[in-house]
Amino acid sequence: MTEQTGPSRRRLFGYAGAAVAGAVVAGGATAAGLRAEGNDPVEAGQTRDLTPYGDHQPAIAAAPPKHAELVALNLLGGSDRAALGRLMRLWTADIVALTAGRPAPGDTAPELAVPNAALTVTVGFGPRVFTLPGLTTAKPPGFAELPVMKHDRLQPGWSGGDLLVLVGADDPVSVVHAVRRLVADAAPFAEPTWRQSGFWNGTGPDGRPVTGRNLFGQVDGTGNPAPGTPDFDATVWAEGPEWFRGGTTLVVRRIMMNLDTWDELTRSEQERAVGRKLSTGAPLTGTAEHDDLDLDARDADGRLVIAGNAHSRLSHPSENDGRRIFRKGLNYVRDTGAVRESGLVFLSYQADVSGQFLPLLARLDAADALNEWTTTIGSAVFAIPPGFREGGWLAESLLR
C-alpha cells in the first residue's frame, strides 16, 4: 500500500489551469520539481498574483501563504438568502480587485493594495447558512459541525461561525488591508466572531519550496496528496450538490501546543510520538521525507518501529480505509501579557467532512501520542463554494 493510494477515483474536474498548476507546492513527491509562485522571487514580467477565476477558489491548491488571517463572521438577524447574495457580489468585486493589487471599491487606504503580494481570498459558509429559508436543501451531504472530541477543550471565542474569509499573502500588510476591506463591506450583513492569524515558511534557505515546519520543529504536511494529481482532486473537490461541484469543505482547528513539556522530551521520544525523524521528516522506517511508511517494520526487540500510537501511523490512509485529507497548517503565537501561547491553526480540506475528516479525527482523538502535548481549543467547519468565472460571482448558482 503506498501513500498515493486514495479513495475511489472520481471524475476529474476541469483543473484551474496553468496559473494554479504552476503555483502548487505540497508534500507530494513531485513538489520539489514544481515552482511555488507564492514564494519565489519575482522575475521580470512575472507576477506572484493568482487569477481569481476558475473552477475552484484558487488558494486551496496553491502554495501555502506566508501569512494568513481567518475571520469568522456571524450573520446579523435580518440577513437572509438575498442578503447573502448581495454580500457575495460585494466580496467578489473586492476579491477581483484586491488579488490583482488594485484597491477594492470604496477602499479607504488604496495605497495598501499592491500587486505581486500573492494575495488570495477564500470564502466559506458555516452550517447555519443552510438553515436559512431557501437554502436548506442545498446543504452538502455530510456537512455539519464536528462533534466535540474527548480531548477538545473548545473555547467559544475560537469556534463556529456562519461565514469565513481566509486571506493569505506574502506580506501581513496586504493581509490586514484586505481583511479590513472585506469585513467593512460585510458590516450590513454580518459581524466578526473570531479572528485567527498565522504564518508558514514553505521556502527553504535556497529559495526552493519545502513542506515547512510547525513550532514543535516537525516537518508538517508530508502525507498530503499533491495538487494537480488525481488523488488530490478526488480528496478535495466535491461532486455535488450541483451548486457545490468543485467546492470543498474546510475544517479549522486551533491546536495549542505545549512547547515547554515537549522540550522536556529527548529527540528520540519526540520522533517516536510522530513516527518521523525531526531532521528530514522521513519516516522512522525510511531515509527521505517522502518515503512511504513501513507500518509493519519491527526493531531487534520485536517492537514496531513506527509505534502503534504514532501520529503518522494513525493518520496514514492505509489505516483509514484509504481516506485522505489535504491539510495546511499555520503556526501561531498569541501573547497574554508576557505569557506566550504557541500552536497551529490546522486547516483540512476534503470533499466530505463527515466521510473523510471525522473518522480520522476520532481515531486521532482516541489514541494519538501527540495528544499529550496538544490541546484543541477552537473548531469550526465551512463549506467552500467553487470558484467563479469572469463576470460571475461567488456561489452565484446557489444564491442568484
Query: What is the C-alpha to C-alpha distance for residues 381 and 150, in angstroms, rounded to an integer?
Result: 18
Query: What is the C-alpha to C-alpha distance for residues 207 and 201, in angstroms, rounded to an integer?
Result: 11
Extract the C-alpha cell encoding 152: 477538545
Neighbours of 133 (CB within 10 A): 7
Q: Which of 21, 185, 199, 291 binds a second copy (CB under 8 A)?
A: 199
11 binds a second copy per the rule CB under 8 A: no
| Binding track over 130-169 against a second copy, x by CB under 8 A | ---------------------------x------------
109 binds a second copy per the rule CB under 8 A: yes
193 binds a second copy per the rule CB under 8 A: yes
Q: Which of 5, 30, 108, 268 binds a second copy (CB under 8 A)?
A: 108
Q: Which stretch binds a second copy (CB under 8 A): 7-15, 76-84, 200-208, 223-231?
A: 200-208
Segment 274 to 313, residues that bind a second copy, using CB under 8 A: 278-279
Query: What is the C-alpha to C-alpha distance for residues 141 and 242, in angstroms, rounded to an integer?
Result: 12
Q: E strands along the chain, which residues?
A: 67-75, 120-125, 163-169, 190-199, 248-257, 326-336, 339-350, 374-384
Q: Which stretch binds a second copy (CB under 8 A): 229-237, 316-324, 331-339, 366-374?
A: 331-339
Q: Which stretch binds a second copy (CB under 8 A): 56-64, 199-207, 320-328, 357-365?
A: 199-207
46 binds a second copy per the rule CB under 8 A: no
* Amino acid letter, residue 384: I
* Amino acid letter, residue 22: G
| For a second copy, the closer CB: 13 or 199 | 199
Instruction: Kindly give, in sequence order, each residue whose CB lies less than 8 Å from that of residue 186, ignoring residues fewer than 6 positions away.
Output: 73, 87, 90, 91, 163
Q: Which stretch binds a second copy (CB under 8 A): 30-38, 40-48, 236-244, 372-380?
A: 40-48
| For a second copy, the closer CB: 19 or 176 | 176
CB of 87 within 8 A of CB of 19?
no
Q: Which of 159, 193, 177 is nearest to 72 (CA)?
A: 193
| For a second copy, the closer CB: 196 or 356 | 196
Active site residue 206: no
213 binds a second copy per the rule CB under 8 A: yes
CB of 387 within 8 A of CB of 55?
yes
Segment 362 to 381, residues that bind a second copy, using CB under 8 A: none
CB of 32 within 8 A of CB of 209?
yes
Please state whether the peptide bond connecting residue 241 to the residue before it is cis, i.e. omega within 30 degrees of 0. yes
Q: Which stretch binds a second copy (CB under 8 A): 28-36, 38-46, 375-383, 391-399?
A: 38-46
Q: Which of 56, 37, 69, 26 is nearest to 196 (CA)?
A: 69
Query: What is the C-alpha to C-alpha distance for residues 13 and 15, in angstroms, rounded to an integer?
Result: 6
Query: Where in the sequence numbering do the catalytic residues fall?
Result: 220
The residues of the shown chain that bind a second copy, judged by CB under 8 A, are: 40-42, 66-67, 71, 101, 108-112, 114-117, 157, 171-174, 176-177, 180, 191-195, 197, 199-201, 204-207, 213, 215-217, 259, 263, 278-279, 331, 333, 335, 337-338, 340, 342
